[in-house]
Every structure is written in structure tokens, then in C-alpha cells.
Chains A and B, each alone.
Chain A
Amino acid sequence: MAALLLAVAVVLLPFNTGSTTVFVVLNLLIVVAAVVDWVLAPSPGRVGVAREVDAVLRMEEGAAYRWTLQNPIGRRLRVDLADAVPDSLRIGDRRARLDLPARGRRFADRTVTPARRGTIALGAITLRVHGPLRLMMRQADVDVRDTVRVHPAFPSRDDAELALRNALREAEGLRTIRLRGQGTDFESLREYTPDDESRRIDWAATARALKPIVRTYRAERNQRILILLDSGRTMAGRMGREEVADVDEVREGVAPRLEHAMDAAMALTRVATGMGDRVGLVTFSGGVGASVPARTGTAQMTRIVQTLADVQVDLVEPDYRAAFVEALVRNQRRALVVVLTDLAAAPVAESLAPAVPLLSQRHLVLVASPADPTVRQWAGAAPTDPAGAYRMAAALRSEADRRRSARLLGKVGAQVVDATPDLLPVRLIDTYLDLKSAGRL
């Protein structure tokens, strides 16, 4: 504002006498007014400032973010604030201007949509307090420390919940058609319905009750699932969730392969813990990283998600052998070991396949991998230019390599689930339930 006044003086001066006195007096008046305004503006440190945001956020999900300012003086106050919010929180506008009533409180709301996982420290908030004449502002950083944790995105949450609900209904015998998850543990007796299989009729109970009675079973509980999550270099490649019609169009849910693998891991954890099984987690890249012992219950889901939040891609070759040895040490009992990794031909042939027999002797090994939908789309496209035709051939070769990797892993005793990120969690859950109902766990 003071600069604006000085600029106005440029226009006014030619209409005056042009004397140096007028020039000096005009500038002095502006300077005096600015000093008075600065003195009358309260110190930013006196302004009460608070930041409100959930302590736990989830990637790609919007969350409320609020600043609250408290006026410490008995007249209106204009305050600008700028928050030290990292770009990855995607707050849109990290600044706000609030006109505070005398000794009143105002707030400004924003929405953050985190783009990265992990622990984020929020630092100081910078305040600019305007003077009553709006000529000057006093600025200072106010120390307002907060820490928020951003958990990985879980786009398949609804699919997992639906799968769990269905599996539980089937396991409890509410549906009478033959379904997976039927289990072998006897649970109770109930009256026969026409849809029940006749082999389930308990003839002794029927004789006692003088009406047909069937046995119900539940799925076995406390079985072990150990998830081995690869965070090595091959998991850094970014891909969308679904195939797109046009390779140039904006792909939804573009994220590193690791994020999609985490989504599948969380979906499996949700269903398996819901089914009463124990789920553990080991992350690895060049060596073994974080690990969560196998447990059951809803708290285990939280523990695993919190662990996943801090896992970052490490640009090194994954050491499958070290991860498998860790799994063997941690699990003496038979378990379903789910290895979430990439099916790139070289690492599979040179490192993963030779290491699988370590586990497959005692455990059931399942390798799951997110496939790139873009490559799938290229493989199935009808190209119209040479670049597209060669790309189609390259995509087909890539797909053939993945199938070859899957066959190789099958030969050494591992099952393979290879699906695009939108299908991987569901396929993984289905495979788990199939194995469970088949009594192979």
C-alpha cells in the first residue's frame, strides 16, 4: 500500500509547484503514516493460530484441513496466513486471508488430497498482520508443529469388504449352495431346508428331533498367511489401474507398481483377518525391511497398514532368498506365503524361481503381480502406424515373457496370480479362498 501511495505521488507531483520541499514532505508523510501503521499492527505472535487436520490420512482421499485464527485485540484485524504444507499434500491454496472481528475467531477451510505416503511434518505457519491503515504488515513465523501420517491408498476396499461378507455368509452356512469357504470345522445343527445337500443331514439328530436336521460347518480359523512385499527396483514403474481405450488419455489411479501391490496386500489382509486367519507381513528389497508378526483381528489390519505407509521403493535388485529365509524363520507352521512382486523375466528366472523351493517344501507359495494395463492395451490394439505395430509386437513379447515366468514358477511349486491392478486384489482373494476351501492351507 505504501508503494502504491508513492506511485500515486508520481502522478501528483507534476501538478504541484515542483519544489523539492513538496517532494520531501510528501514522502515523509507517507513514511510517517507507514511507521504509525506498523506500530499499531499487533505482533503476529499475539495472534492465536491453530491447524486442524486428521492425524491419519489416506492417499488420494480428500480430508478436511482447517486454520483457526484468534484476534487478540479489541478492533478488527486483517491477517494473511501461509502454511508450510508440502506439495504432496495437494492443498490447492496454502494461503488464506481472514478478517477477524474484535477479539473474535475465524477459520478457513481447505481440502488436502495426499499424493504420497509416509509421515509428514507440518511446520510453521507464517502470519502477516495488516495495520489499521492497510499501509504496512508485520510478518512472523508462528511455530505450529503437527505430524500427519498418510496411509496407502486402498481402492479395492469395497471389493474386499464384499468378498469378506460373502465368504462369511458362505462359511456360516446361510447360503446352502456349495460355495468356497465352506470349511471343515463342525459348527452347529439346524433344520433342513430344500436347498441343503442331503449328505449334510445328521441322521442321529434327525431321529431325535423327528424332523430333518443338517450339520453346518465353518471355515477353519487361525491359518497363517504371510505376505512378502517386494519394494525393489522393478516395483517402481508407474501404471494405471485399468486398461484405457487410448494410450494417450489420462489414466486413473496412476501409481508405482508397489502401490498396487500394497492395495492387494491390504485387501488380502482384510479378508483373511476377517476370516479369522493370522496374517503377517515382511517387506524386502536388497534385504529384509519391515516385518509384522502374523496375528489375527482387526488391529492387525491397522498394524500392517501403518507398516506399509513407510515402505518406499528401493532401486536395488530384490533379494528373494533373504526374504524367504526370514519367512522360514518366522513361520515354523505351514502357511500361505504370498509374494507380491513383478514377473519380469530376468529376476524371476535368476533369483525368484531358484529361491521358491526354499519355501514350497513347507509352505504354500503364491506369487502375485500387478500387470501393466497399458501394455495389455497395446498388445490387443489394432495399430495404424509403424510405431504402433512395433509396440504391439513388443507388448506381446512382454506378455509372453510374463506367461513364461508364470510357467517357470509353477514348475518350482508356486501358484501365480497375474492381473491388472484393478483385478489383482479380487483374484488374490479368490485364490486365497479357493485354497482355503480346498483345505490346502
Chain B
Amino acid sequence: MSATGVSSASETAGTTSAPAGSTPAAADAPASRPARYRRDDIGGQRAARYRTWRRYLIGAVVLLVVIILIGPRSQTGMPLDPRSTEPGGVRGIIDVLEELGVDARIAGGAPRESDGVALLIRDDLGEQQRSEVEEWVQRGGRLILADPLSELGPDVVGQTSIAFTEPTIEPACDDPFVTGVERVAVSGALVFDLPDGATGCFPRNDGFFMIRVPAGEGERIVLGGQATLTNSLLGTEDTAVLLVNLLTPDSAAGLHVIEPDGEGLPGESLGDLLPDQVGLALWQIPIAWVALVWWRARRFGRPVAEEQPVRIEASETTVAVGNLLSTAELAPEAAAIIRARVHRDMTRRLGISGQADAETFVAVVADRTDISPQVLRALLVDPLPYDDAGLVRYANLAGHTVARITQRVTPLGPPPAGTPPSDPDDPLDQARPT
């Protein structure tokens, strides 16, 4: 008898008979699994659902990261910002110079005629701004160029680090700008080849960290890295002394910290750097993602709710009683229960009266079995154990003894001579008299 449900929809009369088996997809489907794995099926479905949601989550996070990367960046507190007081900012040395009476000005464009020193931290200058700065130097200005990769600097020949360490470096020159400077801190800095007519200080790895290059009536002083200017290294060794020497104008002239006009910057965001087709392709990703979510969001098959049965082990009460005995440290009481069981089993299986006195009882049991009187006395006569270790030994001995009686005393009587021990770990075999 079978129950056959048929769709309420009109069923077209098919004439093509089905083959002997189902399609490969159907044939490959798993049949019923063993009982022990069935609960795993439910757990597996849950895990699959979890994986699905995890994919969506990861997709959303990736999208968010892309948006953050492509989107415009905040301009506050950026590294090497002359206004930033963050560890990577350059505000510290400018404040020091102002304390020393230097008229410091942070601005775009080219230095003015009244400026004696100009500081270029990062060379993002446009062509026009760069030429204006160059002309100002030619007219007698001093440009401190902290960007080692600037087009205005000499060739780079190495770096200041030795192996993986970054030691402080010594000037090793007589330049007046290094007066009072014994060591300065650098970090990830580069060293330059010495061009003709230039002088170098802070030699390291076949190059110089600081180069003075005459240019017209002025000069360019190129440093191997901007990190030396940062607030974090300002107090290290004599870094501040060197910077004060370099950035303090000779007269009452001012200091111009050059800000790029923006013409030389490639863009304000990563998205501006990308070619148009890549940008379009990136737009395609959320479109594909939305399509995927729309496609996957619709549940395939209805969920079926079932009232779950109560799952409680029948042995839980026994476990709880055992835990209570253990917590209360009732080893003697537990042993007494076990002793009563051993006594009961022996009386029932060996046909000995339970009323017999202990020594007689032990003697009769020892006579009818191969269990030594010492073991039987330990089980039936001696004081009960008072701690956990003693209880374990006692219970183990009792378990083996009862098993021995159950297995061998049928019919009554000791095992035949030469019977091998049933278990090498059995304490009864170890206690058997030889």
C-alpha cells in the first residue's frame, strides 16, 4: 500500500517511459546513512547555512574595503604633514624653530625673496612650482630637500641600514651645519652618490645621508629620508640640533615649508589612479554581487518545523548521585555499597549463607574459587578505604572479583588446574598464590 501524491497542476500525459534507473544525479544521491551519522546530517546542513552566510559577509566586507580604498581620503593627521602633531607628523621641528625666533610659514607656491630657507618634505610639485623653487634656489636660497626620490636630488646608491638594523649615524665631516651634532636618528633612509662639486656628510654604505649641492648662488641640501624630520625621532640623539642648523636662516629671513600646489599629485584617491575601464569593472563587481545575492536569497524548499523531543539520558540520575558522592568525599560510603554488592554476589553465586562469620565466609569462597584469601579479606573484612585513591583500588579489585566469580564459578568450584589468567592486568591474577 502506498500513498501517492499528485500535483494539483495539470500533468501532461508523457509517453516516454523512464529508464530502469534515475538520472545520474539522482542515482548518485546518498541512500540512508548509518544511524550514528544521522545527527551529523543536521549539523552539516547548519554548517552549510553558516558557510553561505559567511560568503555573503565576506563579500560585503570586501565591497566595503574597496569603497574605502577608492573613496577620498582624510587629509588630517597624515604622515609628514607639517601641521600634524602625530608621531609621523613634522610639526615638532617647526614649533622648535618658532621658539627660536624663526618666522616659519607653511604655504604653497615658491618661496619668497624674504625667505632664506625652504623645506620640501615630499616632492609632489608640479612642473611650474618646481621651476619656481629652482629659480629661487639659483637666486641664493637654501633648499632643504627631505625627499630622497625627488627629481632635484642626486642619485641614490644605497641605504643607511646595516643588515636589518637601523643604527644612528655620525656626521664624519667638518660642515658647519653639523656643528654640535654627534649622531642623528634615521629610519629607512637612503644614501646618495656624491656629485661633482658637492660635499657629503653622514657617510654610510658607500654613500652619504646628507649632500650639499651648490646651485647658482644658492644650494640644495638633500637628506636621505623624511623620517628624521618626524616628531617621533626629533628627540633622538642630536637630530633636533641638525635640523635647527639646517632650517634656521642666516639672517632675519624666514623659513618656507613648501606645500605642493596639487598639480603634481596623481589624484586624491586610489580610484583616481585607476584607468576608466578598471573603474567600470569595479562597478561590475557590486552588480554581479547583487545579482548573486538576489539569486541565492530565495530559499529552495520550505523549512519544516518539528517539535523537538526531550533528550535526557536515563543514566543521568546515576551520574548525578556519583558526582554527589564524589563532591562530598564519601569514599567509605561508596566502598560500603560496593562491599555489599560483592558479598551479595558471592552468597548468591556460591551458595554460601550470608549469615556466616567473615573468616568462615572468606575461607569458603577461597576454597571454591581461585581468589586468594588476602584479596577476599581486603574486599570483605579489612577497613574500608577513606580516600579516592583507595576507593579506586578497592572498586577495581571488586569489579575484577565479581567478573571472575561470574565467569568461572559455573558450576561451583575453582577453575581447573592450569587455567590461564583471563586478563594480564587483572589484580586477582597478580595476587594468586603460586
Residues of A participating in the B interface, judged by any CB pair closer than 8 Å: 2-3, 6-7, 9-11, 13-20, 22-23, 27, 45-56, 60, 62, 68, 70-73, 80, 82-88, 90, 92-99, 101-113, 115-116, 122-126, 128, 139, 141-148, 236-239, 250, 252, 256-257, 313, 315, 372, 374-375, 378-398, 400
Q: Does B70 contact A (CB under 8 A)?
A: no
Q: How far is the CA of A115 from the CA of B1 in the complex (A)?
A: 21
17 pairs of residues in contact across A and B, judged by CB atoms under 8 Å: A2-B291, A2-B295, A7-B284, A48-B6, A48-B7, A52-B3, A56-B1, A90-B32, A97-B23, A98-B23, A99-B23, A106-B18, A238-B312, A382-B397, A389-B334, A394-B322, A397-B321
Q: A122-B5, A383-B395 are in contact. List 10 more A-B contacts (CB 8 A).
A: A20-B280, A45-B7, A62-B32, A84-B301, A90-B32, A99-B25, A107-B22, A139-B300, A387-B326, A390-B322
Main secondary structure of the interface of A (DSSP, over half): mixed
Contact A146 B318 (CB under 8 A): no
Interface digits, B281-323 against A, CB 8 Å rule (1 contact, 0 not)? 1111101100110010010111110100111111111110111
Q: A390 to B399, Cβ gap below 8 A?
A: no
* Chain A residues in 8 Å Cβ range of B398: 382
Structural contact, A141 and B302, CB atoms closer than 8 A: yes
Inter-chain contact A313/B309, CB cutoff 8 Å: yes
* Total inter-chain residue pairs, C-beta < 8 Å: 314
Q: Give the residue of A49, A80, A94, A110 whose beta carbon is less than 8 angstroms from that of B31.
A: A110
Specify which of A111, A116, A383 is in contact with B396 (CB 8 Å cutoff): A383
A92 with B32: CB separation less than 8 A: yes
Inter-chain contacts of B282 with A (CB < 8 A): 10
B11 contacts A by Cβ under 8 Å: yes
List chain A residues, Cβ under 8 A from B33.
90, 92
Chain B residue, CB-CB nearest to A51: B5
- Is B419 an interface position by the 8 A CB rule? no
Known: A23-B283, A107-B22. A3 touches B292 (CB 8 A): yes
List, in ascending order, chain B residues with CB within 8 A of A53's CB: 2-3
Assembled-state Cα–Cα distance A10/B394 (Å): 75
**Which residues, 1 to 30 on B, are CB-close (under 8 Å) to A?**
1-12, 14-18, 22-23, 25-26, 29-30
Alpha-carbon distance A400/B337, docked complex (angstroms):
9
Taking residues whose C-beta sits less than 8 angstroms from the other chain, chain B's interface range is 35 or more
Nearest Cβ distance between residue A301 and chain B, in whole angstroms? Answer: 17
**Partner among B7, B277, B310 whose Cβ is within 8 Å of the Cβ of A49:** B7
Which of chain A's residues has its CB closest to B338's CB?
A: A393
What residue of chain B has the Cβ atom nearest to residue A9's Cβ? B284
Q: Are A46 and B10 neighbours in the complex by a CB distance under 8 Å?
A: yes
Q: Which of B7, B283, B291 contacts A144 (CB 8 A)?
A: B7
* Complex interface residues of chain B between 357 and 401 (CB less than 8 A to chain A): 388-389, 391-392, 394-400
Determine the distance from Cα of A147 to Cα of B2 in the docked complex, in whole angstroms.
10
Q: Which among A47, A123, A257 is the interface contact of B302 at CB below 8 angstroms?
A: A123
Within 8 A of A (CB), among B29-58: 29-33, 35-36, 38, 41-42
**B278 touches A (CB below 8 Å):** yes
Do B277 and A14 have beta carbons less than 8 Å apart? yes
Of all chain B residues, which has the CB nearest A45? B9
The CA of A17 and the CA of B276, in the complex, are separated in Å by 9
Contact between chains at A3 and B300 (CB < 8 Å) = no
Q: Contact at B25–A392, with CB atoms within 8 Å?
A: no
Is B304 a contact of A84 with CB atoms below 8 Å? yes
Task: Evaluate contact between A6 and B337: CB separation under 8 angstroms.
Answer: no
**Interface of B, helix, strand, loop or mixed by DSSP:** helix
Contact B315 A239 (CB under 8 A): yes
Give the top 8 A-B pairs by smallest Cβ distance, nearest first: A82-B301, A18-B277, A382-B399, A237-B314, A104-B16, A48-B11, A108-B26, A393-B334
Asked whether any CB of chain A lies closer than 8 Å to the CB of B335, the reply is yes
**Nearest CB in chain B: distance from A347 CB, A:** 13
In the complex, what's the smallest C-beta–C-beta distance from B18 to chain A, in angstroms?
5
**94-116 of chain B: CB within 8 A of chain A:** none
Residue from B2, B30, B326 in contact with A386 in the complex, judged by beta carbons closer than 8 Å? B326
Question: Which B residues lie within 8 Å of A47 (CB)?
Answer: 7, 9
The closest CB in chain B to the CB of A74 belongs to B12
Tell me the minimal C-beta distance from B207 to chain A in angstroms.
Answer: 41
Partner of A382, one of B10, B335, B341, B396: B396
Interface flags, B70-99, vs A, CB<8A=1, else 0 = 000000000000000000000000000000
Instruction: State the Cβ distance, B314 to closest chain A Cβ, in Å.
Output: 3
The residue on B at minimum CB distance from A237 is: B314
Q: Which residues of A contact B298 (CB under 8 A)?
A: 139
- Closest residue on chain A to residue B6 by CB atoms: A50
> In the complex, what residues of B have CB within 8 A of residue A239's CB?
313-315
Residues on A with C-beta less than 8 A from B280 are 13, 18, 20, 22-23
- Among A3, A72, A88, A396, the residue within 8 A (CB) of B341 is A396
Q: For A84, give the chain B residue with the smallest CB separation.
A: B302
A126 to B298, CA, bound (A): 11
B356 at the interface (CB under 8 A from A): no
Which residue of the partner chain, among B275, B304, B318, contacts A85 with CB atoms under 8 Å? B304
Instruction: Looking at the assembled complex, report how far the CB atom of A279 sits from the nearest CB atom of chain B, in whole angstroms.
Output: 24
Q: Are A392 and B26 in contact (CB under 8 A)?
A: no
Contact B304 A142 (CB under 8 A): no
**B325 at interface, CB cutoff 8 A:** yes
Shortest beta-carbon distance from A231 to chain B in Å: 12
Name the one of A125, A128, A238 contacting B314, with C-beta atoms under 8 angstroms.
Answer: A238
Q: For the complex, what is the distance from the CA of A257 to the CA of B30, rounded to whole Å?
A: 31
Per the bound structure, the CA–CA distance linking A124 and B304 in Å amounts to 10
A60 contacts B395, C-beta separation under 8 Å: no
- The CA-CA distance from A315 to B420 in the complex, in Å, is 52
A-side contacts of B18, CB under 8 Å:
68, 104-107
The docked-state distance in angstroms from the alpha carbon of A385 to that of B302 is: 50
Give every chain B residue within 8 A of A46 (Cβ-Cβ). 9-10, 12
B10 nearest CB neighbor, chain A only = A46
Bound Cα distance from A108 to B323, whole angstroms: 52
Given contacts A87-B304, A92-B33, A239-B314, contact A103 B399 (CB under 8 A): no
- Least Cβ distance of B287 to chain A in Å? 6
Contact at B317–A398, with CB atoms within 8 Å? yes
A93:B392 contact, CB within 8 angstroms: no
